[in-house]
Structure 1
């Protein structure tokens, strides 16, 4: 279902984006008005019961959330009104890239196999660690007491699992970014020769250490946050008003660096695929590029978050509807909604794996678009972008000439 949505967005990108944004705005307004009306009706009751108070608070939270969502989407639409055409063309170019390189959707399948293998090995090692120790007699029962080495091994196993998880996902992003960058800067798209296989070769030949460095940095920050939480619970009195803010401040700083790395990692991978530099240099250049194109980048990112989330949710509906009819006929299942929620969760995860590829494709095309404008002028140095993607740029130049 999400692939159908991607096909629709490719051929009707501009209309689809406006329909999705305006539909979200209308739904947020309707949910907000309904919650406020119900809250007002309950507020007028003279002797509310405890159940009414809970419902009253629920509608109050719903009204506030709906209003905040409505204002957020409204401000987004107002700020994007002049950049929606560019966003639509980027989505259209992403559809072209995927249609020219359909094997991009095989990359998340390989990622799934790698993650499944890693999870199996992690579970196997975890079982060995948890079942190891020194046989100890306590009263009438015996158990395996773990020494310091086993506790360190438990933490080491968790840290390595997180590191490998980030590393595998980073390899996927790097392969997709390198493939799309190669596709963008080739004038004749029919001359593409195994871009995904070539990107995988570049990854393992040149950039494997950079991806590993990012995985190590991110897992280190996550381990520090977890260790700080452990120290906070073990050493600090809950009523202490002086040391707890210090831990919260340190946790906030570590979280900031972790989020910054996660935010810049995709752009750094794209820079690595374009220039072939290391992760730190590419991250610096990606940061400067984002700062110089912050408004357009914000428009693409904000719109993409809503549209891609809509596609993920859209992919959940068919399995849930089909599962509802199937599970209702199976009388051996006592809690049908648990199975339906599990089906929805699995469908969302599968759609997320494939749509994350589209998200990386869009980010890569946008970075390539920015460098295309920076390196070329459209006359002596012709652009690599398509005619449709060139239209917003020409329109912007004409607007500047009029001024």
Structure 2
């Protein structure tokens, strides 16, 4: 039943789906190694996560040696004494580095996935704009070289912008969903304010999306221009 409903829903767009399958077949014929690109991305992710975990272990144990004095309770013949106690505490700098370490995790993950999208977009564009024979012998390799040669700054800036706007949007959405269940004037007023903020994120900041990396790979423009287009 679900398959039948799905087919009926896609029936008006059957010509577009057929064309997409033809273009996919053409792309895979010209770029057979594009199937292995996610494997390379997974290896890069594993290497980064291992390195990130090692740094996290160092930060979790980077405590400062501290000492303080406590007073004992005088019982029977034991007088009151001041006893020094040695312990380890995390300083404010360590706490800041731990927060930065977590934020860098999200940013670099966005960077790796953005690089994957740009490499695939460049290889697919090479196959799409060629007729019978590929314009370049190794489209995946050429797209990777162009990425490291010209577009690393665009990917870093774009992934940072997407990451910066993703966190407040997620926080506002979580607060909006929690206030939606509450009843009261303050809750309704806060709900309207958060609804306006979320509407701003949806309407004004919609171009700041992962799809902006595709025009960067195809046309070689910067991130802001690609997002506007």
Q: Kindly state the Cα deviation for residue 156 of structure 1 after the two structures are TM-superposed.
A: 0.6
1:356-385 deviation per Cα after TM superposition (whole angstroms, max 9, x unaligned): xxxxxxxxxxxxxxxxxxxxxxxxxxxxxx
CA distance in 2, matches of 1:253, 1:120: 38
Q: What is the alpha-carbon root mean square deviation over aligned residues? A: 3.6
Aligned pairs for 1:2-401 (under 5 A) are 23-25=1-3, 77-78=8-9, 80-136=10-66, 143-189=87-133, 192-224=136-168, 241=186, 245=191, 248-249=194-195, 252=198, 256=202, 260=206, 264-266=209-211, 268-285=212-229
TM-score, length basis structure 2: 0.74
Q: Which runs of 5+ in 2 are unaligned?
A: 71-82, 174-181
1:134-161 deviation per Cα after TM superposition (whole angstroms, max 9, x unaligned): 2346879865322221111011101111
User: What's the secondary structure of 2:206's corresponding residue?
Assistant: helix
| Residues 1:137 and 1:224: Cα distance change in structure 2 (over 3 Å) | farther
CA distance in 2, matches of 1:276, 1:147: 45
TM-score, length basis structure 1: 0.44
More strand by share: 2
- Structure 1 or 2, whichever has the larger Rg, is 2
Q: Kindly state the Cα deviation for residue 273 of structure 1 after the two structures are TM-superposed.
A: 2.5
Q: Kindly state the Cα deviation for residue 224 of structure 1 after the two structures are TM-superposed.
A: 4.0
Q: Kindly state the Cα deviation for residue 189 of structure 1 after the two structures are TM-superposed.
A: 1.9
User: What's the secondary structure of 1:277's corresponding residue?
Assistant: coil
| Matched pairs, number | 208
Q: Kindly state the Cα deviation for residue 115 of structure 1 after the two structures are TM-superposed.
A: 0.8
